[in-house]
Amino acid sequence: MGKAYIVGAGPGDPELITVKALKCIRMADVILYDRLVNRDLLREAKPDCQIIFCGKKPTHHTMKQEIINDLLVQFTSQGKTVVRLKGGDPFVFGRGGEEAEELAKHGLSFEVVPGITSGIAAPAYAGIPITHREYGNSFAVVTGHCSKGKPTDIDWASLAKAVDTIAIYMGIGNLSFLSQQLINHGKNGDTPVAVIEQGTRIEQRTVTGTLNTITSVVEREGVQNPAMIVVGEVVRFRERLLELQGIEKNTNVVAEKKVIVM
């Protein structure tokens, strides 16, 4: 009998993968990996491992989810050790639940290996704690994109009023819509917002603004996916850390990473 491992590869920095996830990669006969997986991790695979790209962009899918599901079932049924390698955590907007369900339907053995999600890691690398006693005691993770485009079925009224910090995944294309929904449902337009591009990777950069201004800031700076959006007072803590360390606000990634290691 084969076995499938639905594995979180972490947010981008290859050093943030877990020990267990790395073990899975090293013993895999087949690896099905996503676009946001750091390809340096694939060097850990066996020489004879079959490696298949299953990448998806917001508007373009290299491989449909149904085909990925079929491949998981096919290779696992052949008695192989299969690793489904996904960016971040497989159960946080990663469709890992659908893949686990498909394997279970076919009576196949599988295991889920959690990973560090970008909604926590990317802000941390930018000097933004997702919670802080003085700035925010609660947070929510939200998708900024759905199969129909704009995420209109989210309870924006509750989200705007009940949670201190909001981490929005896959939201760059709908940033104006997302900001306006939060304002329309009671969030102050001056609420701080950070957008972190290429979170935890060497290319990481962060831009900040408010709900009123962040769309124009992102457009002006040419920020693109993948990017994490953080809404809430915790964003102000980034400036506090940078100031204490004598680092310019508009700094590069090397300085940003100093925020978490000094």
Work out whether the CA dihedral 127, 130, 136, 137 comes out positive or negative.
negative
Token pair, residue 237, equals 């803590």
Nearest-angstrom CA–CA distance, 165 and 132: 10
- Taking only Cα atoms into account, the Rg of the chain, rounded to an integer number of angstroms, comes to 19
Distances (CA, A) of 251 to 47, 119, 197, 202, 242: 40, 21, 13, 13, 9
The residues annotated as belonging to the active site are 34, 56, 170
Beta bridge partners of 133: none
- Spatial strand order of the sheet with 50-53 comes to 50-53, 30-33, 81-86, 3-8, 109-113
Do strands 50-53 and 30-33 pair parallel, antiparallel, or not at all (unpaired)? Answer: parallel
* Residue corresponding to tokens 């940078």: 242
Cβ neighbour number for residue 109 with a 10 Å cutoff = 12
SS3 122: helix
Among 5, 31, 236, smallest CA distance to 126 is for 236
Cβ neighbour number for residue 155 with a 10 Å cutoff = 9
Do strands 3-8 and 81-86 pair parallel, antiparallel, or not at all (unpaired)? Answer: parallel
